[in-house]
Amino acid sequence: MLPDRTSVSKLIWLLLLVMAPVTLRAQQKKVNTSPTPAWLVPYLPDLTKKPNVKNISDGYYILLSEEQRQVELKSTYHHFIRKILSEAGIQNGSEVSVDYDPQYEKLVFHKIIIHRDGKEINRLAGAKFKLLQQEQDLSRFIYSGTYTAFLILEDVRKGDQIEYAYSITGDNPIFEGKLDSKVYFVAYEPIVNYYRNIIVSPARHLNFKSFNNAVLPPPKAWNGLTVYEWNSIELRESDNINYTPSWYNSFTRLQISEYNTWKDVAAWGMRVNATTAPGPELQRKIAALKKSANGDKAVYLQQALRFVQDDIRYMGIEMGEYSHRPNTPDKVLAQRFGDCKDKALLLCTLLHANDINASMAYVNTDLKGTISNMLPSPNAFTHAIVCTRFNNKTYWLDATMSYQRGQLQDFCEPDYQQALVVTDTTTQLTPIVQTTRGLITARESFTLPDDEGKDGSLEVTTSYHRDDADGQRAELAATSMKDKEKSYLSYYKKLYGEVTIKDAISIQDSIAANILRVNESYVIHHLWKKDSSTHKLQFTANAQSFYDLLSYVTDEQRKVPVTLRYPYDLDYKIIINTPIEWSLDQTPLRIKNEYYQFDYTAEKDGHFITLSYQFKTFSDHIPVKYIPQYVKELKKMIEVTSLDLTWKPDFTPVSHPEFKGNWLAIILALLAAAIFAHLAVLYYNYSVLPVKHPLEPLPIAGGLVLLAIGLTFSPMGDVVRLFKMEVFNYQVWTTISARKDLGNITVVQLFLISEVLIHVFLLAYSVLLAVLFFNKRDTFPFALATYYFICTVFIYADNSLNTYYFKPSTPESIISLNSVLSPLLRMAIWVPYLLTSERAKATFIMPHPTLQG
C-alpha cells in the first residue's frame, strides 16, 4: 500500500534533488552516431503506398515502421518514416523521442533526414538532443533510471517525410542472455509499411505462442543465422470497450521465449533471489522478534509480517538488473525501504530464521490466472509475494500491504489466482485458492419529514471486514479526513440535492477482529420534491452503493467478457422511516448463477420500509456465452436499485394526527347504509311460509343459544371492521392514488369503494339476521344460509383482489385468507341444523305480524 500524498511529494522532491547532478551530466552528453549496421536483413518497403485517408489522425501517418532484432549481437535496429500532411501533423509529428536504460543499453542514431521536394536534408549532424530522466513511475514509488533522448526538429513543413533510424544495443544481464519477447501485429494509427524480424543462431531453441490468430512465419536461413520475419499488420479501431477484465487482451500477438518450462523460470528465480547469512543488524532484529513472540511461532510470523509491511516503506530503485533482482535483506533493513521483491525476500529471511517455511512467489496482478496460458517466462510476472506453510495450512502473504490487520487465520488470499513459488522443486504454477473473503455491510437510514418544508436525515454505517477493512484502512490513511468528508458529501449531493454534514465522520477500527466501521450523518434539506402538475411530494431512495458495482452492458451481441469485482460480498440495506404507513408492492428478486448471486427483498413494518440487497461474486468475469442472459438479469437488478415514494400530506402534521376523512367513501357508505336498511325492512315484511296455527313457537334453547350469541356480536364486529377500513383515511386514499405501479388507478379506486359498500351491506344484513332470529321469523333459516354464502364469496374475491394489487401482508388486505374458513364452517354447522332440527323447525315459524291475526 502507498504512503499518503504528502509523503509522495516529499519523496519526489528528494529524488529530484538527488538525481539533479546525474540529469545535468546526462544532458551534457552527446548522442552517439554511426552508419547503418551491416548485419541488417535486406528489406525494401513500398514508399509509394498510401493509407486510407479516413484512418489518418493527428495530421500525419507512418509510412514505414521497421524493427530488426539481432539476438546474438544484443542489438535492435529501429527505422521510421513519418509523412506530414497538415499543420496538425507539424505540431504532432515533429519530434523524435527514444527511451533507453543507460545501465545496460547503448543508444546510437544512424540517420535523421527530412525528405522535401526530392531532396534530403540531414538533421542528425548537430542535432541538439536533450537527455531527460522523466521517471514516469515515480508517482508509484518506482525509480528505474531510464532516459529519454528527445529531439525537437526545426523547420518542419507540410508534405515533409521525416526519416530516422537508431539502434539500441544491450540486454538486461538479469535474464542471462535468454530471449523473451513479444511481437504485436496491431496499430491504432495507419502504418503503410510494417516489418519485424528476429535474427538468431540456429543453436537457439525458441518457443512460440500465438494469440488471437497471430501467424508464425517459417524460419529462413540467412548468413548462417535463422531469421523469422513479419511484414503485415492489422489496423485496429480504438478499443473503447468498457468493463473488460484486466487480463483481457484482444491484440494479435506472438510470444517468444527460450524458457521451456516453469521449472526453468523457478530455477532462474532461485539464482536471482540467492541470499547470504544475515548481518549483525538483521540478526538483532530477528532476536528482538523472537523475544517479543516468547516462543510462539504464530506470534513471531505475524510480528515479522507486520514489521516488513509497516516499517519498511515501499520504494523501488529498479535500475539495471535490480528490475528483477532484490536487494539483500541487510540492505533493505538498513535503508528501511524496498519494492515488492525486496520486502518479500526480507520477510522470507525473517521467517527462515525461526524455522518457518517460506518462499518467494511470483504473481501477475493484471493477468492473474491467465498467466497459465503464456509461455514460461520471468516477464510473465509483475509482483512478488511470500508463500508460507504454517500449521498445515498455506498462507499467501503480501509484504506491501501496509495496513493489513487481524489474525493470521483470518487473512484473505489475494486474488492473483496463480503463482510461481520459487523453490528448487517447483515444476509448475500453483493455484491460489480463495478460502476466506471480505465482507462489506452498509446501512443507510433515512428519516422522511412529515411536511414539505422540514428537513430529512440520513445516517450511514458501513462496516468493512477482513481484506475490505485492509483496503479501506489504507485509503483512509492516504486521505485527509477533510478530503474524505468532502468526497462523501459530494457523493450524496449528487443523489439527494441539498445535503449538509450533521456530524463529523467517525471511525471505529477493531484491529484484532479486522473490522473497520465508518459512520456518517447528514441532513437532507428539502428532501421532498413537489411535482408541479400534481402537487404531490416525491422522494427517491437510491441503492447507489450496489448500482456502482454493476458492469453496465446493454449489447447482447458483445464479444468481449465483462469484468466483475471479485472476490466481493455486499450486505446492503436501506431503511426508510416514513411519516405514514406506506403501501408497498415489491416482488423479491433472486438471481444465482456460477458467476454471481443477487438477492433483493422489500419489507414494511409499520412506518419502516427496508430494502435489502445482497451481492456476491464467484468469478472475476462474465464469459461471452453468458452475456445475453447477463444483460437481461442486469435490467432486473437495475429496476430495483431505486424506490419512488409519492404522497400528498395533510395540513395537520402526522406527528399529531387528526383524522382527515375521505368524504367520498364516507358519503357513499352513508347512502349505502340508508339503501340497505330500507331493503332490510322490506325483507322483514316478507313471509315465505304458510301461516300455521296455533302460533306457539318453542323458546330459544339448546344449540340455538350459541347461535344467538354469535348473531348478537356479529353486527358489532362488522361495525368495528367497517370503521377500521383505511379507505376512509384521506392520506391512505391519496397515497394509493399516487402509486404508478398499480396500473389503472380508477379500477383500484372502484375496488376500494366496492369493499366499503359490501361491508355496509353485510352490516345491514347482520342486523337483519339478529332481528329475524329473536322474533323467530319463518324467513330466518333461508336468510342465514344466504348470508353465509355471500360472506364466503365476498371474502374470497376480496382477498384475491387485495393479493393482486397490494400483496397479502399489506394493510389494504382487509380480511386475511384464513377468514374464508369462518363463514364456511358456520354454514356447515348451522344450515344443516336449522333444516333438520325439530326444535329449529318448531321455533322459526312466526310470519310477519300483519299475518298473525
State the average pLDDT for the chain: 86
pLDDT at residue 342 tops 50: yes
Higher per-residue confidence, 19 vs 553: 553
Q: What confidence tier does 756 reach under pLDDT thresholds 50, 70, 90? A: confident
pLDDT at residue 3 tops 60: no
Q: Please report the pLDDT score of residue 689 as a whole number.
A: 60
pLDDT tens figures, 102-129: 989 999 999 999 999 999 999 999 888 9
Highest mean pLDDT of the ranges 349-358, 693-702, 708-717 = 349-358
Neighbours of 332 (CB within 10 A): 22
Q: Please report the pLDDT score of residue 1 as a whole number.
A: 34
Is residue 658 situated within a structural domain? no
Q: What is the distance between the alpha carbons of residues 792 and 787, in angstroms, rounded to a whole number? A: 9
Average pLDDT over residues 141-157: 82
| 587 and 708 together in one domain | no
pLDDT at residue 22 tops 50: no
Nearest alpha-carbon partner for 309 in 274, 365, 350, 352: 350
For residue 403, the domain's CATH number is: 3.10.620.30
3-state secondary structure labels for all residues of 114-178 = EEECCEEEECCCCCCCEEECCCCCHHHCEECCCEEEEEECCCCCCCCEEEEEEEEECCCHHHCCC
pLDDT at residue 645 tops 70: yes
Q: Please report the pLDDT score of residue 742 as a whole number.
A: 62
pLDDT tens figures, 466-510: 999 999 999 999 999 999 999 999 999 999 999 999 999 999 999
| 112 and 168 together in one domain | yes
pLDDT at residue 816 tops 50: no
**CB-CB contact of 278 with 353 (8 Å):** yes
Residue 72 backbone zone (phi > 0: left; psi -120 to 50: alpha; other: beta): alpha
Q: Considering only 398-407, 557-566, 650-659, which range has the smallest mean pLDDT?
A: 650-659
pLDDT at residue 45 tops 90: yes
Nearest alpha-carbon partner for 187 in 305, 67, 100: 67
Is residue 18 situated within a structural domain? no
DSSP E strand stretches across 525-587:
529-530, 537-542, 562-563, 569-577
Residue 113 backbone zone (phi > 0: left; psi -120 to 50: alpha; other: beta): beta
| 641 and 694 together in one domain | no
| 815 and 836 together in one domain | yes
pLDDT at residue 93 tops 80: yes
| 90 and 40 together in one domain | yes
pLDDT tens figures, 619-634: 999 999 999 999 999 9
Q: What confidence tier does 734 reach under pLDDT thresholds 50, 70, 90? A: low
Largest CA distance in the chain: 143
Q: What is the distance between the alpha carbons of residues 583 and 130, in angstroms, rounded to a whole number? A: 73
Q: What confidence tier does 835 reach under pLDDT thresholds 50, 70, 90? A: confident
The count of domains in the chain is: 4
Which of 590, 617, 647 corresponds to the end of one domain?
647
Average pLDDT over residues 802-810: 57
pLDDT tens figures, 57-84: 899 999 999 999 999 999 999 999 999 9
Is residue 14 situated within a structural domain? no
| 422 and 472 together in one domain | no
Q: Please report the pLDDT score of residue 341 as a whole number.
A: 96
Q: Bridge partners of 194?
A: 65
Q: Please report the pLDDT score of residue 656 as a whole number.
A: 34
Is residue 12 situated within a structural domain? no
pLDDT at residue 523 tops 70: yes
**What percent of the chain is modeled with pLDDT above 90?**
61
| 421 and 527 together in one domain | no
Higher per-residue confidence, 112 vs 751: 112
Q: What is the distance between the alpha carbons of residues 474 and 477, in angstroms, rounded to a whole number? A: 5
Helix axes 730-737, 745-774, angle to 10 degrees: 140
pLDDT tens figures, 761-780: 888 888 888 888 888 787 78
Q: Domain containing 797: what range?
A: 663-851
Average pLDDT over residues 41-47: 95
| 301 and 202 together in one domain | no
Residue 259 backbone zone (phi > 0: left; psi -120 to 50: alpha; other: beta): beta
pLDDT at residue 10 tops 60: no
| 509 and 527 together in one domain | yes
For residue 594, the domain's CATH number is: 2.60.120.1130
Average pLDDT over residues 453-462: 95
Which of 600, 623, 647 corresponds to the end of one domain?
647
pLDDT at residue 372 tops 90: yes
Q: Please report the pLDDT score of residue 142 as a whole number.
A: 54
pLDDT tens figures, 548-590: 999 999 999 999 999 999 999 999 999 999 998 888 878 899 9
pLDDT tens figures, 675-687: 888 887 887 777 6
Is residue 670 situated within a structural domain? yes
**First and final CA of the chain: distance in angstroms?**
106
Average pLDDT over residues 324-345: 95
Q: Please report the pLDDT score of residue 4 as a whole number.
A: 42
Q: What confidence tier does 219 reach under pLDDT thresholds 50, 70, 90? A: very high
Residue 118 backbone zone (phi > 0: left; psi -120 to 50: alpha; other: beta): left
Is residue 325 situated within a structural domain? yes
Which of 258, 292, 308 corresponds to the end of one domain?
258
| 127 and 193 together in one domain | yes
Nearest alpha-carbon partner for 62 in 76, 78, 50, 70: 50
| 463 and 597 together in one domain | yes
Higher per-residue confidence, 803 vs 455: 455
Is residue 247 situated within a structural domain? no
Higher per-residue confidence, 5 vs 639: 639
| 415 and 482 together in one domain | no
Is residue 85 situated within a structural domain? yes
Nearest alpha-carbon partner for 19 in 319, 407, 426, 351: 319
**What percent of the chain is modeled with pLDDT above 70?**
88
Amino acid letter, 784? L
For residue 63, the domain's CATH number is: 2.60.40.3140
What distances in angstroms separate CA 680 from CA 351, 711, 756, one per listed residue? 95, 16, 18
pLDDT at residue 8 tops 80: no
Judged by DSSP in three states, 663 sits in helix
Q: Nearest 5 degrees, angle CA 72-CA 73-CA 76?
A: 105
Cell for 370?
491467465
Amino acid letter, 671? L
What distances in angstroms separate CA 161 from CA 126, 158, 167, one per listed residue? 19, 9, 20
Higher per-residue confidence, 35 vs 672: 35
Q: What is the distance between the alpha carbons of residues 746 and 525, in angstroms, rounded to a whole number? A: 34
Q: What is the distance between the alpha carbons of residues 146 and 133, in angstroms, rounded to a whole number? A: 6
pLDDT at residue 463 tops 60: yes
**CB-CB contact of 342 with 332 (8 Å):** yes
Q: What is the distance between the alpha carbons of residues 502 and 504, in angstroms, rounded to a whole number? A: 7
Nearest alpha-carbon partner for 416 in 400, 433, 399: 433
